[in-house]
Amino acid sequence: MEIIIGSMPPLAPQPEKPLEKNSPLIEGQLLHVRKPRKGIAGPSGMERRGKKVRDPLKGRVLTIMVPDGNLLPSDIDSANYSVQVRFVRK
């Protein structure tokens, strides 16, 4: 049996725990804002895009960059998500 009298050596600093993938708040950077698309007619006068979707007249298209893509759900391309945006002035 061994008895040691004294204190424990200090622990090494723990790295910050990454946010969970289902975190409700993911920060991003607004890169670009543009007006909605209007119809794009090809040479034959037909719509060139495959889907017959029109952007809302008063809508705006935002390009947002998320610095750490690992925070996003892995199946983000499935479009089964609702996105909510909150703007905070810098």
**Structure letter (DSSP) for residue 63:** E
Q: pTM score, two decimals?
A: 0.53
Question: Looking only at Cα atoms, what is the longest distance across the chain?
Answer: 92
Q: Is 45 left (phi over 0), alpha (psi -120 to 50) or beta?
A: left
Give pLDDT tens digits along the chain (90 positions).
Answer: 566 666 666 677 766 555 445 556 888 899 999 888 776 666 666 665 666 667 777 888 899 999 888 888 888 888 788 888 888 888
